[in-house]
Amino acid sequence: MSRLLPHPLLSLALAAMWGLLNAPVTPATALLAGLVGWLVPFVMRLLRPGAVRVRAPGVILRLAGTVLVDVVRSNIDVARVILGLNAGTRRTGFVSIPLDLRNPTGLAVLSIIVTGTPGTLWVQYDSGTGRLLLHVLDLTDGDAWVRRIKDRYERPLMEIFS
Amino acid sequence: MTGADVPVWTACLVVVLALTGAGFSLVGAIGLVRLRTFYERVHAPTLGATLGMALIVAASILFFSVAEGRLVLRDLLIGVFLTVTTPVTLILLGRAATYRDRAEGNPDAPPDP
């Protein structure tokens, strides 16, 4: 953002973390939290991360809600698969998804979402073609998975990190 | 931290949350044994890293908040850091297995993306 505050989001996160670790917050810990949040991001400058701009807070909240529901649902699905509660045969396999999302931070968040929902595994991403290979534990319809990833996660992420 | 000073309803709720979370983690561990291929098996431990972890963290937050008489959100950090770092390990494992399977020319090796 500026010379004085290079990564405002990181500063905020660090200060919040310091406050949580030292709760209840006293004036002394609040001062230290502010100092940590202000000074540590200067070390980050040596790593030269790209500037991260986040837009559309409403979309972030909606995406968080979607992911929360999906995490709970897929946890129960995978638990059923493991315990053998599902009737019929289960097919497992790889799905290739053409991604339009190119923002590195957006892709990192997508990998967290994919990993955080059991039943899908991020196998390989080809930055040249923009294709993502997923392994799906319960693969009934490959096209449905492509649509699910693109509609539910990729589109909101592109709005947030546009 | 004896737990003697929390009301019964809190204790019951904490037990239900912690046991459900532990149950999901246990099912994940069972999956490591029951599933057959590497790519199937690697899905199982994520149960403990997601919903299992979230429920146990919720139980911990509830217990300490009631015991100390204020909102204790310290444990949320465990959830945040676990969620952010799990993909690193899993993607590393997945890539290693993919590389090995392709190099050995195994029939069930992942196709190109």
Domain ranges within chain B, ordered by starting residue = 8-104
Nearest Cα to Cα of residue B113 among A146, A136, A149, A132: A132
Rounded Cα distance, B106 and B95, in Å? 15
pLDDT tens readout for residues A72-83: 999 999 999 899
Q: Is A142 at the interface with chain B, CB within 8 A?
A: no
Q: How confident is the model at residue B1 (pLDDT cuts 50, 70, 90)?
A: low
Domain boundaries, given as residue ranges, for chain A = 8-47, 57-160
pLDDT tens readout for residues B26-76: 999 999 998 888 888 999 999 989 999 999 999 999 999 998 888 888 899
How high is the pLDDT of residue B3?
52
Q: Select from A82, A116, A132 the Cβ nearest to the Cβ of B31.
A: A82
Q: Is pLDDT at A3 greater than 70 in this prediction?
A: yes
**Residues of chain B numbered 18-77 and touching chain A (CB < 8 Å):** 24, 27-28, 30-31, 34-35, 37, 39-40, 42-44, 46-47, 50-51, 54, 70, 72-74, 76-77
pTM: 0.86
- Would you put residue B105 in left (φ > 0), alpha (ψ -120 to 50) or beta? left
Question: ipTM value of the model?
Answer: 0.84
Q: Select from A71, A84, A96 the Cβ nearest to the Cβ of B50.
A: A71
Alpha helices, DSSP H only, in A23-154?
27-44, 57-83, 104-116, 142-148
Give B-chain residues touching A75 at CB under 8 angstroms: 24, 47, 50-51
Q: Do A20 and B73 touch (CB under 8 A)?
A: yes
Four-point Cα dihedral A67, A73, A77, A83, nearest 10: 120
